[in-house]
Chains A and B, each alone.
Chain A
Amino acid sequence: MSVQEYFSLVFSDYTLRTITLGTAILGIVCGMLGSFAVLRKQSLLGDAISHAALPGIVIAFLITGAKTSNTLLIGALISGLIGTFWISGIIKKTHLKSDTALGLILSLFFGFGMLLLTFVQKMPDAQQAGLDKYLFGQAATLVESDVWLMAVVMGISLLVLIIFWKEFKVLHFDPDYSKSLGINTKLLDVLITTLIVMAIVIGLQTVGVVLMSAMLLAPAAAARQWTNNLGIMVFLASLFGALSGIFGTAISATSNNLPTGPVIVLIAAAIVVISFVFSPGRGILFREIRHWKNRNDLQLHKTLYFMFEIAKTHNDISHPHKIKILNNFQGYTRNSLKNLEDRAYITVDGPMWSLTQKGYDKAMNLYNQQDNTHD
């Protein structure tokens, strides 16, 4: 199946439609909430939470014996939340830094989860087969009820963000100030963290424990490059998340043996790379171009200023001078002369150059600016 065939089938084929819708919604939720995770400098929290969810999944299976995703995800939610509150508890109650607390909880919970998983897989009956799909996710197992659950989480997140939009904005920019405004910052913290945990939990089935945090961070990091407006950033992050989900699913569905979760994450990563290089305001490419242009301009202005110094010794500023006299001046090249002529700052006539009125005014301005910086 080619990618084109895939997109023609996506509306008619039930399985494809379910999976595509699921990964797209997941991308939207993750982009939306991931923006706040990035802004509150808690990028690693997502990683810790997703790893902390693993023991919950296995314990939920051990207790209920059920393998329906909803039961297992409740286990994931509970152990993810416990991990999260332990992290904030450790940070508050001890001298440990937050990265240490995150690393500690991540490895502790994940290690315990792996231990349980290995134990469960060695059990005699075949009931437990497939639990390990939560490590890297398996989008093909998504059914309609999973997509409904994702849609509900998306709805709740959207609603909460709309209701508390300005509170979240000021909280993430300036927490102390938002407290002074009488905003209940503790409640908002718990609210946004719970939403982030929920977003991670609904993604475990598709993307898996190990890669889930990338889903949260990549779209948000990419979106930040394109805008200086929080609302637009959240919107773009959702869009990038959805695109990653849709194209990731398309690519993995069209070629056999490509796992959906990792492909989605790779697409998201590609969007990040593109954004970091090509975004006009903050991208590396445009920054280099601006840098290069500034240096070039500076070189040109130096030459122009040198010419101005010569020209102003004459009553007539447009009096022609020999090009030769520029030869001793560093920064002068044939090219820069041509550049100055292109900008109509000078005219060149054979071996002579003369300053134009425009060039004179420009150089005069440069002179004034230099003067200003000196006092």
Chain B
Amino acid sequence: MKDKIAIKVDDLTVAYNFKPVLWDVDLSIPEGVLMAIVGPNGAGKSTLIKAMLDIVKPIAGTIEIFGKPYKKQYKEVAYVPQKGSVDWDFPTTALDVVLMGTYGSLGWIKRPGKTEKKEALEALEKVGMLEFRSRQISQLSGGQQQRVFLARALVQKASIYIMDEPFQGVDATTEKAIINILKELRKSGKTVVVVHHDLQTVPEYFDWVTFLNVKKIATGSVKDIFNDDNLTKTYGINYKVSLLQ
């Protein structure tokens, strides 16, 4: 593992209406890992990545992306929000959504041109959605919508990919396709952070893991820290790795 830190979170505290959602979280994510953030419902997983992306303003603490604040590094980061966070009846097509991934690097007034379109089509092909490019997005299945979101992040050509439950409500084929792409990204040296719900697949999919339940419980390589002790500390009941299988 390389020593370079991709994302560094220091003393992060976030609260909604005085109720702390994240409490004093310290976290260093090394470059080149494929990391799962796991924890029970309401553990603050989504909030943590939204704070990393400067979408949620923390009460205290700092976040650095390759040593600089997010505002200066947004081109290095691609975000895949939860599929349920948008209205899929928006008047637009699959290709158009993927093109949105190029908006950050285009200046004002400039529209996506031939180069951008070519990149978007390549990304759609990579996620197996090329033939659906002209579909209105509400006509896509849940798994297809998730692939479109992934393709949109891919065209950003970022170094860090942050995803909020990309496997939620998708079919088995899509799950496989997505995880293969994520593993490919890691192979090419990218850092991938995924909010994940299915504990059973953590050892198979990821090499790095963070346990979170308002506070950070543990973070490190799956080999070292994905054990009964940390599962129990995070989920509060007597969890055992052996029971997951």
Contact = CB atoms under 8 A, between A and B. Distances in A.
Interface of A: 39, 41, 95, 162-167, 169-170, 172-174, 176-183, 224, 227-230, 232-233
Contacts of B97: 173
A172 B75 CA distance: 21
Interface stretch (B33-41, B83-91, B117-125): B83-91
A180 B91 contact: no
A180 B53 contact: yes
A166 B107 CA distance: 10
A182 B91 contact: no
B68 interface: no
B181 interface: no
Interface in B117-169: 136, 152
A181 B91 contact: no
B109 A163 contact: yes
A21 to B, nearest CB: 29
Interface residues of B, number: 30
Interface stretch (B4-12, B98-106, B171-179): B98-106
Interface in B37-73: 50, 53-55, 71
A39 B92 CA distance: 12
A227 B74 contact: no
A35 to B, nearest CB: 9
B219 to A, nearest CB: 23
A173 B50 contact: no
B32 interface: no
Contacts of B81: 174, 176-177
A169 B75 contact: no
A169 B109 CA distance: 12
Given A166-B103, A177-B79, A179-B55, A39 B90 contact: yes
A180 B79 contact: yes
B79 A228 contact: no
A232 B91 CA distance: 9
Nearest to A162: B109
Nearest to B139: A228
Contacts of A166: 100, 103, 106, 111-112
B136 A182 contact: no
Nearest to B86: A174
A173 B148 CA distance: 14
A323 B10 CA distance: 81
Nearest to B74: A182
A181 B54 contact: no
Given A163-B109, A174-B86, A230 B55 contact: no
Given A174-B85, A183-B103, A228 B91 contact: yes
B195 to A, nearest CB: 14
Instruction: Tell which of A39, A174, A183 has the most Cβ of chain B within 10 Å.
Output: A174
Contacts of A229: 91-93
B53 A167 contact: no
B54 A95 contact: no
A165 B111 CA distance: 9
B211 to A, nearest CB: 25
Contacts of A167: 103, 108
B115 interface: no
Nearest to B72: A182
Contacts of A224: 91
Given A162-B109, A166-B106, A169-B100, 7 more contacts: A177-B152, A179-B54, A180-B54, A180-B77, A181-B74, A228-B92, A230-B92
